């Protein structure tokens, strides 16, 4: 797990399922991910089996019929820079049919095995928590689609907007070694993670480093539009190219349904150094979905 070609996954432009990442292809244990484009009236039928799944609307509209319920988006964003996501959580043994109700539909979804059953849940843009986090030129926007405490087994999902030139996933942190305190609270889980990138312009890119303290893993990759970066372990900071706002969708799965992590000790001091928030944020709001 030490090659750039493995960490950076390019989209398959010849397939409607333009990303497919599984534990087998990623050489890890928990998390699977796909991204799919569909045309008006096209159907995707699926059974989650022993997995829980989260479907995120990237652009367009859809409706879903399932043994868990029925849902439909009516104010889906045009693209990720035009509003906030609709999010559908489906537990294991969910049999569903998803139909594209717009000319084009772009969705992404992550799944992992679950040992528990939870209620299906459909989260609208208006009900999605938006957080402005960080400071100075490390300020970014979190849209918490499936946050800790959501009501699921292991999956966590968040979309992140990083303004032009800003740092994100910073100070650098990791979640690859399970640690608990004396009361049993999780201080750091073992979690695998995908970063799925989108940009408003195809020439844009971000720079992401993935490294461990002993540098047994130490890679720098340059993701572009529709690329995925795999985070099997280690610290993983990001910086957005100057002049281009950066979007990425995170899925995490592992030992715990949380966002606890351990900061690179060399960066701990940075939390106390921020003096202001980037006034360009938020880059998107739920009000944009209705325009």
For residue 221 the two structure tokens come to 């990759």
CA–CA separation, 193 and 233 (whole Å):
9
**Pair 155, 121: CB distance under 8 Å:** no
Residue keyed to tokens 């999010």: 87
What stretches in the chain show pLDDT beneath 70? Answer: 1-5
25 inside domain? yes
- What residues does 159 pair with on adjacent strands? 143, 249
Residue 4 has a pLDDT of 45
Residue 200 has a pLDDT of 94
1 inside domain? no
280 inside domain? no
- Number of other CB atoms surrounding residue 216 within 10 Å: 11
**Pair 40, 101: CB distance under 8 Å:** yes
Residue 6 has a pLDDT of 87
284 inside domain? no
289 inside domain? no
Residue 5 has a pLDDT of 55
134 inside domain? yes
Q: Which domain holds residue 78?
A: 14-274
Residue keyed to tokens 């489906």: 90
281 inside domain? no
For residue 86 the two structure tokens come to 């609709």
Residue 1 has a pLDDT of 39
The number of angstroms, rounded, from the C-alpha of 202 to the middle of its chain's C-alpha atoms is 20
Q: Is 195 helix (H, G, I), strand (E, B) or coil?
A: strand
Domain count, the chain: 1
Quickly list H helices, the chain: 4-7, 23-26
Residue 291 has a pLDDT of 83
For residue 271 the two structure tokens come to 């939390």
103 inside domain? yes
81: domain CATH number is 2.60.120.10
Radius of gyration of the chain (CA): 18
């Amino acid at each position: 797990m030490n090659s750039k070609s493995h960490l950076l996954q390019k989209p398959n432009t010849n397939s409607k399922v333009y990303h497919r990442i599984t534990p087998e292809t990623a050489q890890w244990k928990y998390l699977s991910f796909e991204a799919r484009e569909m045309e008006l009236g096209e159907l995707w039928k699926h059974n989650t089996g022993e997995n829980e799944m989260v479907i995120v609307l990237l652009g367009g509209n859809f409706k879903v019929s399932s043994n868990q319920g029925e849902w439909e988006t009516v104010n889906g964003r045009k693209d990720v820079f035009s509003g906030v996501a609709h999010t559908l959580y489906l537990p294991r043994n969910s049999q569903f049919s998803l139909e594209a109700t717009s000319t084009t539909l772009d969705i992404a979804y992550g799944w992992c095995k679950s040992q528990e059953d939870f209620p299906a849940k459909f989260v609208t843009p208006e009900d999605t928590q938006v957080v402005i986090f960080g400071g100075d030129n490390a300020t970014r926007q979190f849209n918490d689609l499936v946050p800790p405490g959501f009501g699921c087994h292991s999956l966590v999902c968040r979309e992140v907007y990083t303004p032009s030139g800003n740092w994100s996933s910073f100070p650098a942190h990791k979640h690859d070694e399970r640690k608990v305190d004396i009361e049993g609270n999780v201080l750091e889980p073992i979690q695998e993670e995908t970063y799925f990138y989108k940009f408003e312009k195809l020439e844009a890119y971000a720079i992401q480093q993935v490294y461990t303290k002993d540098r047994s893993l130490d890679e720098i990759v340059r993701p572009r539009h529709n690329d995925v970066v795999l985070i099997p372990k280690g610290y993983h900071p990001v910086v957005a190219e100057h002049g281009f706002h950066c979007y990425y969708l995170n899925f995490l799965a592992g030992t715990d349904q949380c966002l606890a992590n351990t900061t690179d000790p060399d960066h701990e001091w940075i939390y106390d150094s921020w003096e202001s928030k980037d006034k360009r944020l938020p880059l998107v709001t739920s009000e944009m979905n209705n325009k």
